[in-house]
Amino acid sequence: MTKHSHIIGGSTADRLLHCPGSFSLIQRLPQQIEVPSEYAEFGSHCHAVMDCIAQAFTDGLPSERTMAAYTAELVGDHIYDRVLTVATLADAILPAIETLYELMDI
């Protein structure tokens, strides 16, 4: 996975775009070793799972049921830095898939 920008990210973009002075202040901070949080690593894992799912359906999205069934087959696979668990599937991946299909219906 590629490194995140040390200049701008999703959580800082609004501030940096609307307050250019904050960029110069950030530049004066001492260099820090980047140690991602467990939350960031979990998010990267979930993004990698979704990437696996998207690559499986490059010809178009199947029904929500077919996608959920395919995704369930990934449980136990090592993706990014950890094994996909039933809990992660239920708590993060399937809700994201459900939301995708809800948005597509709109």
Domain residue ranges in the chain: 38-105
More confident residue, 17 or 102: 102
pLDDT over threshold 70, residue 6: no
Q: What is the torsion angle, in degrees rounded to the nearest 10, for the CA atoms of residue 91, residue 55, residue 57 and residue 67? A: -10
Please tell me the predicted confidence (pLDDT) of residue 22.
Answer: 84
Q: Per the structure block, which two tokens stand in for 23?
A: 């960029």
Closest to 27 (Cα-Cα) out of 7, 10, 52 = 7
Nearest-5° Cα angle at 87, 85 to 89 = 70
Q: How confident is the model at residue 13 (pLDDT cuts 50, 70, 90)?
A: confident
With beta carbons less than 8 A apart as the criterion, state whether 77 and 83 touch.
yes
Angle at 83 between CA 78 and CA 85, to 5 degrees: 135
Does pLDDT of 1 surpass 60? no
CB 54 within 8 A of CB 62: no
* pLDDT, position 49: 96
Do residues 49 and 79 lie in contact, with contact meaning Cβ atoms separated by under 8 Å?
A: yes
- Note the pLDDT tens digit of each residue in 45-96: 999 999 999 999 988 889 989 998 999 999 999 999 999 999 999 999 999 9
